[in-house]
Amino acid sequence: MRLNEVSDGAVVQVVDLDAPDTLRERLLGLGFVPGQTVVVGETAPLGDPRVYIVGRKVVTLREAEARRVEIKPADFIPLAMANPGRYVVVALSGGHRFRQRMANLGLQEGITIEVSYNRGAISLLVESGGRVVIGRGQAKRILVKAIGGAPR
Amino acid sequence: MTIKVALMGNPNVGKTSLFNALTGARQHVANWPGVTVEKREGTVLHKGFRIHVVDLPGIYTFGSKSIDEQIARDYILFEAPDVVVVVADAVNPEQGLYLLMQVLELRADVILVMNAVDELEKSGAQLDRYELEKHLGVHVIPTVATKRQGVSELLNTIVHVFKSKPVHLPVKFRYDEEVEKRINELEEESSSKCENLNVPTRWLAIRLIEGDDVVKWFCDIPFQLNEEEKKRLGLLIAKSRYDHINMIIREAYSGGLSSKRLPLDEAIDHVLTHKYLGIPIFFAIMYLIFSFTFEVAQPLADGIDASIAYLAELVKASLGENWFSSLLADGIISGVGAVLVFTPNIFVMFLGLGVLEETGYLPRAAFVIDRVMYALKLSGRSFMSLILGFGCNVPSILSTRAISDPRERLVTILVSPFVTCSARLPVYILLAGLFFPKHAGSMLFLMYSASIILAALSSVLLNKVLFKGEPVPLIMELPRYRKPTVLGLLNYSWSKGRHFLQKAGTIILAASVAIWFLGSFPPGDIENTFAARLGKFLEPIFKPLGYDWRTTTALIFGMAAKEIMVSTFSTFYSTEGVEFTEAMRNAMDPATALSLMFFVLTYIPCFATIAAIRSETQSSKWTAVSILYGLVIAYGLAYLVKVVIGGWVGT
């Protein structure tokens, strides 16, 4: 799969670069190395280019350049894209306050959650047994990893 | 004693702020020889040493793939700076450390600056500089360039590194077995192939694998490396570097560096690059910059204009009417005035542009509008510059300094005279009002549309001819939003604006005096001046377009400034008892008038613009290309309009 083929918000992992010398070295210098996780950001109003988040760097690529990056879906996805199932929270990307708020809900790195449904807002069960509903905006900032197992 | 220091780093890491903090106002802005890339140099005295700092273009890799990279690499290789300072962003250190690792393969006398440590601490993370020093084998200085924090320590360290060199060999990072094996082979090969090699063979071998053509400077015999091998080993090298960097970061950072982006940045980006709001916001900001440049600064410009006119009157009144007072008043004082009158607009424009650049909006603007410019083989970065041209081409050309790609910058500079500036408006209004009284508005609209189409077509054409139609790449970073500092803004507009005054000022002044001379000699009858004679001499050339010598002379004066054409028309067409407008109506038909409007749109914009092109491209060749291109298009287009419209009206 190529980086230009995935939709906004996807989390992917770089597999290979199929680019001429010139472009390859530039992409490598920006952090597009095999194994690197890339979060796909928003597309520009006119449909091209698009924002990609590599580590903490925010980089823009046109479709022509993104096409050169071979990718696979990452192990981690934002909670906002999670289908019902069991997940481990991998990262909370936000400031101190966001993390605090999530901790109050029982959401911390390393805990297991179970998504019951995802229709814009996401309803999930946390380890301690409580049911939590999270808005899409916040769910975008929570990275989770699927661990299999059918929902209870 | 002088210490030559090269400042390197990724774009947007605060390298320029650090440069300003190091050198203060003692800096010099010019271009690197032969290219439209800005070169900043400055000197600071410290502990009895003259520290001469050169700010290299911001780059991500120490390679040769872009002109920026070539400039930086060639400077480090061939200008032999005594100390290299690599600036990295403390909050986003990976890519900066990547560049550092590439530099460390070449030389060891490097200092690493970790800038913006205050932002890092605000995010709750800490950086252990000694841990970094241990891993990288270089001095590490944490700084906050905008607050001058760490600057004196950096200066001390520069002196220290200069005095104590050579200390040790470059730190050797080991790559995968396969890569190391190939590096060894290439190293052996190079010792036989290359004579008097004064760079580390290991560095050369790695550069070879990474596909750098630098090797041709050192070795006569080519190496055998196929594309597939370069790609595979190149990826392995990059991967090992990042693995190593990530390891170092884990060791040297404590606290929350794992948190991704700042939520506030994300929120602002969401609005500024929004699907529906992004473009309206972009145009609103463009409008603000535009009105800031041309309206807020206008009273100042008018004030200067009025003072110059008053001064000229004063000189004439006190010296009497003679050629000397005329030279002084109409030639020199007006010439200086012609330069000065631009200053408020230019400094205000750079102030506005500085705010956009320092806050980090500029790359967002380019991102939002890029699709449009991509169709013209440019990128979103040139849009802003071209829009400014509707006010005046001079600030438009100067603002291309914010465009990082030199090819794109050159094309933008060459295209920008076609954007019809406000000085051409009085000529359009006069001609449209006289010859198309019922459709004057539509005619103005036609001129503005033609201007946009011409600029667009020209940029595609120039790109095709000059650069084989390759689109300018747009791989850019959206930096964190920052609060601009007053000092930073003043520095930005002063250093860039001053450059115009120095370089363009002399050309404008000389041209103004020349035009004064042509228009005033020999004294007496205006129809007998050199300008009028020149107009008569050139009349045959313009015969096919239907322009008489009066119009031709007006076009000559129009090279000084377009608005002068209106007064030239009134001077030359006025006769006893007949309004000049009436005389003009008799002298031209509407088709000729329309063709004249097109001619005015496209031929030499004005001396100030020519001077700006000359000072920004630093090339007489490109200046000549711009002038000739404009003239050819003007003549061709005017002729076409004359024939087509003339024929159409005739039938």
| Per-residue pLDDT tens digits for B37-85 | 788 899 999 999 999 999 998 899 887 777 788 889 989 988 889 999 9
| Per-residue pLDDT tens digits for A17-63 | 988 877 888 899 889 999 898 989 889 999 989 999 988 889 999 99
pLDDT at B264 over 90: no
Answer whether B143's CB lies under 8 Å from B137's CB: no
- Between the alpha carbon of residue A109 and those of residues A13, A93, A101, A142, B597, the distances in Å are 21, 10, 13, 9, 69
pLDDT at A151 over 60: no
What's the mean pLDDT in B279-284? Answer: 92
pLDDT more than 70, % of chain B = 96
Residue A111 phi/psi, 5-degree rounding, is -85, 155
Contacts of A37 in chain B (CB under 8 A): none
| Per-residue pLDDT tens digits for B192-241 | 777 777 788 888 889 888 888 777 778 777 777 888 888 899 999 999 99
- Quote the pLDDT of residue B459: 92
Q: Which residue of B250, B367, B377 to mutate against A (max A Cβ within 10 Å)?
A: B367
Q: Tokens 């009002």: give the residue.
A: B433
Cβ separation B473–A96 shorter than 8 A: no
Q: Which chain A residue is nearest to residue B13, measuring alpha carbons?
A: A57
B521 vs B237, more confident = B237
Answer whether A7's CB lies under 8 Å from A62's CB: no
Strand order across the beta sheet in which A37-43 lies? A69-73, A11-17, A37-43, A50-54, A57-61, B476-477
Q: Of the given ranges (B47-61, B159-173, B439-453, B509-523), which has the lowest mean pLDDT?
A: B159-173
CB of B326 within 8 Å of a chain A CB? The answer is no
- Quote the pLDDT of residue A150: 47
Confidence of residue B651 (pLDDT cuts 50, 70, 90): low
Confidence of residue A152 (pLDDT cuts 50, 70, 90): very low
Answer whether B98's CB lies under 8 Å from B73's CB: no
Confidence of residue B166 (pLDDT cuts 50, 70, 90): low
Mean pLDDT estimate for chain B: 86
Helix (H, G, I), strand (E, B) or coil at B545: helix
Is 2.30.30.90 the CATH number for A77-146?
A: yes
Which DSSP string do the residues of B397-464 spell out, in sequence order? HHGGGG---HHHHHHHHHHGGGSPPGGGHHHHHHHHHHH-TTSHHHHHHHHHHHHHHHHHHHHHHHHH
Cβ separation B60–A61 shorter than 8 A: no
Q: CA-to-CA distance for A124 and A146, rounded, in angstroms?
A: 14
Mean pLDDT estimate for chain A: 85
Q: What structural domains and CATH numbers belong to chain B? A: 2-164 (3.40.50.300), 177-240 (1.10.287.1770)
B37 vs B649, more confident = B37
pTM, entire model: 0.82
Answer whether B373's CB lies under 8 Å from B383's CB: yes
Q: CA-to-CA distance for B544 and B310, rounded, in angstroms?
A: 42
Establish whether this prediction's ipTM goes over 0.85. Answer: no
Contacts of B482 in chain A (CB under 8 A): none
- Quote the pLDDT of residue B168: 58
Whether the upstream peptide bond of residue B590 has omega within 30° of 0, thus cis, is no
Cβ separation B234–A25 shorter than 8 A: yes
Q: Phi-psi category of B576—alpha, beta or left, where left has phi over 0 and alpha has psi -120 to 50?
A: beta
CA B253 to chain centre: 37
Answer whether B246's CB lies under 8 Å from A33's CB: no
Q: Of the given ranges (A143-152, B175-184, B328-337), which has the lowest mean pLDDT?
A: A143-152
CB of B228 within 8 Å of a chain A CB? The answer is no
The class (CATH top level) of A3-74 is: mainly beta
Confidence of residue B142 (pLDDT cuts 50, 70, 90): very high
Q: Where in chain A is the domain with CATH 2.30.30.90?
A: 3-74, 77-146
pLDDT at B136 over 50: yes
Amino acid code (one letter) for A75: D
- Quote the pLDDT of residue B170: 61
Q: Tokens 């914010």: give the residue.
A: B402
| Per-residue pLDDT tens digits for B345-363 | 888 888 988 898 889 898 8
pLDDT at B501 over 80: no
B263 vs B107, more confident = B107
